[in-house]
Amino acid sequence: MKAMDNDDTATNESTPISVATFEDLYHHHYDAVSRYVARRLPPSAHDEVVAATFVVAWRKFDAVSNPSLPWLYRIASYEVAHERRRVGRQPAFAELNDLNLTDTHSLEDVMDVAAAFSQLSPGDAELLRLVHWERLSRTDVAELLDCSVNTVNVRYHRALARFSSALHRHLNSSSEHAVAKERPKETP
């Protein structure tokens, strides 16, 4: 059964095998896609963007030879970008929108990392998120970004060096600011 909506969007030709396979993909990767979106957008946009990701995945499911988590992340990245364009905002606060971080690290450390992340280019920040927050292998990142593993490795090491420099600058400026606040004011 193939149907065309009035808006020229094709629906997936649903066979029992493809429906069951898609349901398995959905159940297996829903939480990961949900976390991916939650780290990049405010809660008010989360459900709509996750749903849109799986709608697009369903429409393209039979055309993809090996649907995988990186494939879903790529679709989600387009949906996140679409949502940001729709509301006209940039991802200023959602860099580390992961409550689990404060369970394992102090809030001060998380804020230091967030400050360093805000100094990175969007590409560097996204690459580091994919490797460290989403825990993707370099092979999966290469698939998602449509480039070679060697390219990912080079970009990763450069992004990590820029992150390290940004964190070092932030920590130095924070400690200088703290020292300046502690100094007693000179009275004439």
Domain boundary among 43, 72, 91: 91
Tell if the pTM clears 0.85, that is, is over it. Answer: no
Per residue in 4-55, pLDDT tens? 344 444 445 556 668 889 999 999 999 999 999 988 888 888 999 999 999 9
- Same domain? For 83 and 133 the reply is no
H helix intervals, 7-131: 16-38, 43-60, 69-87, 101-104, 107-117, 122-128
What pLDDT, in 10s, does the model give residues 138-163? 999 999 999 999 999 999 999 999 99
- Render pLDDT for 59-91 as a digit per residue (tens, 0 to 9): 999 888 889 999 999 999 999 999 988 877 555
The residue among 34, 66, 91 that closes a domain is 91
Domain CATH number, residue 25: 1.10.1740.10
One domain for residues 120 and 181: yes
Residues 145, 84 within the same domain: no
What is the rounded distance in angstroms from the CA atom of residue 127 to the CA atom of residue 160? 9
Structural domain total, the chain:
2
Q: Which residue has the higher pLDDT, 115 or 127?
A: 127
| Residue span of the structural domain in which 166 resides | 96-188
